[in-house]
Structure 1
Amino acid sequence: MAAPASELARLVDRFDDVTVRDLAWLLFAPDLLQEGDVALARPLSSSAERDATLAWLQALDAAPQSLHDHARNPKLTRLGIYAESLIRYFLAHGPAARLIAANVPLRRQRRTIGECDFLLEAANGVRLHWELAVKFYLHIDDGDDDTSRAARLSDYVGPNLQDRFDLKHARLVTHQLGLTSRAEFAALGFEGPWRAQLFIKGRLFYHGLGGDRIEPAPEIGADHLRGWWLTASEWREARASPSDDKGDKRAWVVQPRMAWLASRRLDAAAAETLVSESAAIRTRLETTVAPTMIAAYVRDDTGGWKEESRGFIVPDGWPQEARAFAASAG
């Protein structure tokens, strides 16, 4: 039972530990895709499972060391692997489904042809095959003033222009979700039948601070999480705008990749340091040479700091390269 974007912060903010917050985000964040041709995973399939999981997370938040030991590996630098480790912990120790196996390789003539992310048994006895994808794409338009063209999955590109949503979608649907129906999987002896589902979370970023008005591609989930992106020049102009009435009351923070999941909270000491560095960060981003995710924090009613929004600053030449990459879809 994923939560609408408006409710997600309330669910996640009850937890203090960063790793527990990331796990809660994976479980409750809206799906990036609509339920349609692709069956979507439902990690919490009932109100009872939702309530039991929130209670379990609350207990884990009070004593998170076992989760840290499982997921906080200093050698672990890939966000997708980190997300997999969190879901594996939930399936192994949480109150909902039961983990049967994870990262199951399929081989043909000693060559790996795929790997099933998760094999599990739901509370009702149904055996499920989950493929996990956590993606962050920037929406790129065609560069003219005609906004009548509907968005397409190919308009969503990875910040480093090495990934595109239509390509990822095709790979997941035509290859990954079909692994448990292959003869190579049957030979492994896992008793079925298996129902394949896609567990897909993330955030999509739209051009401009008013990008929330852009109509997404029809395959995109209605409640998907949104962010914004600006070029370095647009960022510089936004900095100079008198409409930014929060001024020094807002802190800008560069988000390292491993902090791309749940929103963060800042205590007073951390916020004081970040506010003092915020101006330098904003200036440095005016000449960024690579897309950089940042978050804006504002002071809340308790005196702490909460995340207000998240976006990317991209080099001025990035949109032209991104349009070419999107157009290569044909």
Structure 2
Amino acid sequence: MPAGPDAAQETSGTETYQMRFERTWGHLTRPHVRALAWLLDAPDLLDPASPHWQNRIATLGPVPPAAAEWLAALERDPAPLDAALGGRFYSRLGLYAEKLMAFYFEQQGTLVAHGLQVRANRNDTVGEFDFLLRHGSQLLHWEFATKFYLLDDTAGAASFNHLVGPNLADTLGVKMRKTFAKQLELAYHPAAQPLLPQPVDLAQALVKGWLFYPQGSPHALAGISPGHCLGYWSTLREFAAGRNGAAQPRQQYVVMPRLQWLAPLKVRAAGAGAPVPGSGPDAVPDRPPGSPAAAGPARINSIAAVDSAAPLDAAQVVQAVLARFEQEMSPVMVASVVERDGWLVERERGFVAPDDWRARAAARREQGLLPP
């Protein structure tokens, strides 16, 4: 049975991002700290050096030793990070990632403003600055995004518009056009001028994320970073038949909660049963206080961070995905894991999508809801 792209890299001797991350950051086990480490360490999704982006892509560069030591200190004592995140309900992965980056920039002493809204009047919001940062004497405007896209292999030659969000709501092409045409121009709007301590010297987008490819699809696309984080995607029927992620007969899996989509997964191996939600100090509250408990279990399993999980075999993954599809017909992220010293460590990841995902993508293109 064929393996997914990352598994193929492992068997061929090529080091995957998951392997590099574990080698460098394996001492970090708290979900929040690992997520922050990934945001700082992960390759840019878009290649800053590509002429395609005309110098409008920001990059953090290598993690400096002082930042690595700071992350290790947060692993020992996460109280400052926990306080920055607060006890709020995070249902949006992008907002969670943005809060982590705001914490980092603030600790580095470079944060001027985060989430600064620009209004033409009380009822007219023009836009919002994700980050205003100090860089020497310069003022930088950075728009920030963490994105997960699946390559639609039925849409012809690969392009940014064929990298589609799991929920079929947007594409990488649409996202970047909006970012460049509107968001990065915000500093020039008259309503923004009174809010700025000085003119913005440079406006760029910092984009992190993972791209997911069907088996056999090429991973090279001009403008995408050559070393970007990647995984596979398959339909549920393909997965159940042993394609992509179900390639290894004795492979173990974890269905990944949304708030752990960022960093390669590392959780304690639990006994038999479902993943254990919210069982440690890093657990993210799944729902606001006072919301109905009856809505909890399925929602917790799909969103909230976990610090332990029971590994599943491929047949159990199929059943778990089917149960998820009963609530929402959206791709489910699954990590293939290996057990090391009581920890389940991610070796590759993929989305398991509804069998009609390609057909629904095609229908949305025909309706004009996705670009051709």
Range into which the TM-score falls when normalised by the shorter chain: 0.7 to 0.9
Q: In the alignment, does 2:234 pair up with 1:230? A: yes
Distance 1:298 1:271 in 2: 16
Q: In the alignment, does 2:142 pair up with 1:130? A: yes
Distance 1:80 1:286 in 2: 26
Counterpart in the other structure of 1:21 = 34
Distance 1:308 1:98 in 2: 35
Shift of residue 194, structure 1, vs aligned partner: 2.7
Shift of residue 264, structure 1, vs aligned partner: 1.9
Cα-to-partner distance string for 1:151-173 (whole Å, 9 max, x where unaligned) = 10010111111111111110111
Q: 2:58 aligns with which of 41, 44, 50?
A: 41
SS in 1 for 2:90: coil
- Equivalent positions of 1:205-244 (< 5 A) are 205-208=212-215, 210-211=216-217, 214-238=218-242, 244=247
Distance 1:317 1:137 in 2: 17
- Equivalent positions of 1:90-109 (< 5 A) are 90-94=104-108, 98-109=110-121
Q: 1:188 aligns with which of 169, 191, 195?
A: 195
SS in 2 for 1:53: helix
Letter in 2 for 1:316: D
Shift of residue 278, structure 1, vs aligned partner: 6.5
Contact 2:236 2:318 in 1 (8 A): no
Distance 2:259 2:83 in 1: 16
Distance 1:310 1:30 in 2: 17
Q: In the alignment, does 2:115 pair up with 1:112? A: no
Letter in 1 for 2:270: A
Shift of residue 142, structure 1, vs aligned partner: 2.2
Consecutive unaligned residues of structure 1, counting only runs of 5 or more, are 144-148
Counterpart in the other structure of 2:319 = 283
> Closer, same or farther in 2 for the Cα pair 1:138/1:13, shift >3 Å?
same
Counterpart in the other structure of 1:50 = 64
Cα-to-partner distance string for 1:123-167 (whole Å, 9 max, x where unaligned) = x33221111111101001126xxxxx6410010111111111111
Q: 1:160 aligns with which of 167, 170, 180?
A: 167
- Equivalent positions of 1:198-209 (< 5 A) are 198-208=205-215
Consecutive unaligned residues of structure 2, counting only runs of 5 or more, are 1-15, 274-308
Distance 2:31 2:84 in 1: 14
> Closer, same or farther in 2 for the Cα pair 1:265/1:151, shift >3 Å?
same
Counterpart in the other structure of 1:311 = 350
- Most deviating of 263-272 and 73-82: 263-272
Counterpart in the other structure of 2:281 = none
> Closer, same or farther in 2 for the Cα pair 1:160/1:245, shift >3 Å?
closer
Which structure has more RCO (C-alpha within 8 Å, separation ≥ 6)? 2
Alignment root-mean-square deviation, CA: 2.7
Distance 2:311 2:34 in 1: 23
Q: In the alignment, does 2:335 pair up with 1:299? A: no
Contact 1:153 1:219 in 2 (8 A): no
Contact 2:234 2:243 in 1 (8 A): no
Counterpart in the other structure of 1:84 = 98
Letter in 1 for 2:208: K
How many residues are treated as equivalent by the alignment?
Answer: 309
Letter in 2 for 1:232: L
Distance 2:85 2:125 in 1: 25
Distance 2:132 2:85 in 1: 19
SS in 1 for 2:310: helix
Counterpart in the other structure of 2:268 = 267
Counterpart in the other structure of 2:360 = 321
Contact 2:143 2:205 in 1 (8 A): yes
Distance 1:188 1:319 in 2: 45
Letter in 1 for 2:116: V
Distance 2:93 2:118 in 1: 23
Counterpart in the other structure of 2:134 = 121
Contact 1:118 1:129 in 2 (8 A): yes
- Most deviating of 287-296 and 264-273: 264-273
SS in 2 for 1:238: coil
Distance 1:318 1:236 in 2: 16
Task: Quote the sequence identity (%).
Answer: 33
What is the TM-score of this pair, normalised by structure 2? 0.75
Contact 1:295 1:311 in 2 (8 A): yes
What is the TM-score of this pair, normalised by structure 1? 0.84
Contact 2:57 2:204 in 1 (8 A): yes
Distance 2:160 2:342 in 1: 41
Contact 1:206 1:227 in 2 (8 A): yes
